[in-house]
Structure 1
Amino acid sequence: MSKIYVLDTNVLLQDPNSIFSFEDNEVVIPAVVLEEVDSKKRNLDEVGRNARLVSKLIDDLRLKGKLYESVPLCNGGKIRIELNHRSFHQLQEIFVEKTNDNRILAVAKNLSLEEETKNGGRPVILVSKDMLVRVKADAIGLISEDFLHDRVIDNHDIYSGFSDMYIDTEQMNSFYEVHKLPIEGQMSEPYHPNQFVVMRDALSSSSSAIGIVNQTGTAIHKLIFDQEQVWGIRSRNVQQTMAIELLLRQDIPLVTLIGKAGTGKTLLALAAGLLQTEDMGCYQKLVVTRPIVPVGKDIGYLPGEKEEKLRPWIQPIFDNLEYLFNTKKPGELDDILAGMGSIQVEALTYIRGRSIPDQFIIIDEAQNLTKHEVKTLLTRVGEGSKIVLMGDTEQIDHPYLDAMNNGLAYVVERFKEQKISGNVKLLKGERSGLARLAADLL
């Protein structure tokens, strides 16, 4: 049976192409949604870009017919702008204020009541990313759904970058001797290039080894940088050992690190970047940046030059650099960085149009990037550069993103089959006992 989907504003602002995601059903956009989209189109952020794209898509559809009646879509469905059914009579005793959300609910409810009076009337479904709008819809007897088409993964089942394997003693001894284990017949689950494998002896609880699947997928090899000390930092757990391997490998230009606060993502990435930039000379510069998304209420405009404005946002990076350089006095780190000249702290705002060759690029808090933003970043990477994206997909401050549709998860899932990328999900917090307990309990 054909259905009618009424779209909330946040669905269009999250994914402008959402109007093509409902197969051969009818998509209805209330007039108040167009007003909300219009109010956002002058924004200079991702929301403003999506508002402008929605406006262009609808304007293009206008050329195919009368939008207040219905216009066919390329997927077999239809779309129409709903100018009627705005009566607030059905909701005035339940929701007193005529907010935009309540107006959208009124349109969906009136459409649903009209369809119920018809023979073979179609179900009316309100689609919204706003949980409270869906709760309100349920309260007035209206069917509602979240928009799930933009999800990269389901049920938080993101690719971890490693798996366990049980082998016999003979195979374990062979791996220790020749540092290689043929993969055919060994792994029952699908594997990916540069995926780590924790091998355990099926008959012995104490014997184990860590290997990495080669880029052709034919064998598991011994780690190249096992037990490597990086700028004075040693790995404290298995996943940190895996992360160091990826960070130091010249043949893996894209690395993604996922983990809770305190798992060592930023510290390891900075240490590996400093080693390869300053000591080994593999890269000309170490570029560090992070999205400017506040936690809690925004503190507003900041005084000073670009570097001074960025300092509050980049302070976590400087905290890790102070630890790596073992600075004790105020201003000592600034003097060191000024003398080195090869460490650059940049804002994502100025990344468009740039080409960044021969540099080690670190993007912290990448979970707050949208799919479009992360695409913009990766397409800036020049020849000979390495980029590291890291963050915690459970700590998202962006209002239109969640653990299953953010830019970091998008990159992890889309690149897991590629030979040039590697991913590790760090599990154990190493900042302190208190930080580890807080990450687990809070």
Structure 2
Amino acid sequence: MKKIYVLDTNVLLQDPRALFAFEENDVLVPAIVLQELDTKKKYMNEIGRNAREVARILDQLRGLKPLHQGVPLENGGQLRVELNHLSYEKMKETLPEATSDNRLLALTLNLEEERKEAGRDEQVILVSKDALVRIKAEALGLKAEDFLSDRVLVDDDLYKGYTVAYVEPALLECFYQDKNIPVTDLPGSPLYPFSFVILKNELQPSISGLGRVDESGEMLRPITHDRESVWGVKPRNVQQKMAINILLDPRLSLVTLTGKAGTGKTLLSMAAGLLQTEDLKLYKKLLISRPVVPMGKDIGYLPGEKDEKLRPWMQPIFDNLEFLFNANKPGEVENILPGLGSIQVEALTYIRGRSLPGQLIIVDEAQNLTKHEVKTILTRVGDRTKIVLMGDTEQIDHPYLDAYNNGLAYAVERFKDQALSGHVSLQKGERSTLAQLAADLL
């Protein structure tokens, strides 16, 4: 059955290529959506960029045929800009306020009634990222769907970077004696290069071993612990041991860390970064950054120079630096950093156009980045540079992202089988008992 998909503005602001994501079916862009895109095009952020990208795509298609008549797409469908449903008469009694969302619902309702009157065998579907729009559409008897094509994950099964394998005692003993065992001897699904395996004795699970798959993906070798602590930070659980292992591995150009609040992502990354930059001199600079996305209501424009404006956004980074430098007095970290010279704290706003060779880059709160922004960051990486992306995919403040389509999950899934990247999902909170309970219960 042929379908007509009516797109909401938020779908195109999330993914401008959504215009081509509906196979051989027809795609309809309402006039009210064009008006909303027009109000967003001047934004100097990802939303503005996507609004301008949609405009460019529509302008290119306009060269083939007038958009209001319908332009054929390569996938067999047709794209049409709908201009003939500006009347709001049928919706006045149900939803008297003619908001943009309600006008979109009115248009979809008009299309559905036209279809019924003409007896056409097709389905009109409203596509929106806004759950309330979908709920109102269903109440009006319309079919509505979320836009799922941008999802990295189909379900909650984000790659963890490690697996648990219950093995025979003889295999575990062989692992300790020979210092390696073939991956093919392990039960379960295929393992990726540099992924971790927790081996447990199937008869006595308390007896275990920790190994990591080698670069070829063929052998499992024990993890060697060269350091009991990194800049005074000791790993408190097995996932933190894994994280330190990949953070200190010079063969890995990309490290991704996920986990709930308080699992130690930021502290471990910064401790490993300081060790490799200040002590081992493997990198000439440590660049620490995070996206400027507020939680809750924005505080508006901030006074002062750039560093003063950034300070509220970067305060979590300075909190960790105070711990690592054992700074107890106010302003002590600010006095230490200029003396080091190799540590730079900066917002991601200024990264486009830069080339970053020989640096260790730490990006905190990466779950608030879009897929395009993650691509922009990773394509800035120069020779001999290592980048760490970390965040909690359950704490997203970006209005158009969720646990399934954010940039951090995108990077984890796309790079999980690559031999230059490593990933660990941290599970246990170590900040405090209360923080762990809050992460679990709330």
Q: TM-score range by the shorter chain?
A: over 0.9
What is the match of residue 180 of structure 2? 180
Write the distance in 1 (CA, Å) between the matches of 2:136 and 2:377: 39
In structure 2, the residue matched to 1:279 is 279
Partner secondary structure for residue 76 of structure 1: coil
Give the drift of 1:72: 0.2
Identity rate of aligned residues, in percent? 60
Please say if 1:363 is aligned against 2:348: no
Matches within 5 A, 1:334-349: 334-349=334-349
Aligned partners of 1:188 and 1:305: how far apart in 2? 55
Quote the Cα distance in structure 1 between the aligned partners of 2:7 and 2:193: 40
1:42 corresponds to 2:42: yes
Shift of 1:121: 3.1
Is the 2:351–2:377 Cα contact (8 Å) retained in structure 1?
yes
State the 1:375 CA deviation: 0.5
Q: How does 1:9-408 map to 2 (within 5 A)?
A: 9-225=9-225, 228-408=228-408
TM-aligned CA deviation for residue 117 of structure 1: 1.5
- Superposed CA offset, 1:209-259 (max 9, x none): 010111111110111336631111111111101000010000011000000
Alignment partners' CA distance in 2, 1:401 and 1:342: 33
CA–CA separation in structure 2 for the residues paired with 1:274 and 1:12: 41
The alpha carbon displacement at 1:143 in A equals: 0.3
Indicate if the aligned counterparts of 1:226 and 1:245 stay in contact, CA closer than 8 A: no
Q: For this pair of structures, how many residues does the alignment match?
A: 442
For normalisation by structure 1, the TM-score amounts to 0.98
| Counterpart Cα distance in 2 of 1:319 and 1:357 | 27
Listed as ranges, the gaps of 5+ residues in structure 2 are none
Q: Is the 8 A contact 1:10 1:128 kept in 2?
A: yes
d(CA) in 2 for partners of 1:58, 1:129: 21
Give runs of ≥4 in structure 1 deviating > 6 Å. none
SS in 1 for 2:114: helix
Counterpart of 2:313, as a letter, is W
RMSD: 1.0
- Structure-2-length-normalised TM-score: 0.98
Contact (CA 8 Å) 1:225, 1:244: kept in 2 or not? no
Matched residues in 1 for 2:434 and 2:261: separation?
12
Contact 1:226 1:241 in 2 (8 A): no
Task: Give the letter for the 2:328 counterpart.
Answer: K
Tell me the CA shift for residue 333 of structure 1. Answer: 1.3
Q: Secondary structure at the match of 2:89?
A: coil
Which structure 1 segments of 5+ residues have no match?
A: none
Residue 140 (structure 1) shift: 0.4
2:183 and 2:191 in contact (8 A); partners too:
no
Contact 1:227 1:241 in 2 (8 A): no
CA distance in 2, matches of 1:322, 1:335: 11
The residue type equivalent to 1:217 in the other structure is: G
Cα pair 2:13 2:47 within 8 Å, conserved: yes
SS in 1 for 2:197: strand
259-268 vs 303-312, greater mean Cα deviation: 303-312
Deviation at 1:205, TM superposition (A): 2.5
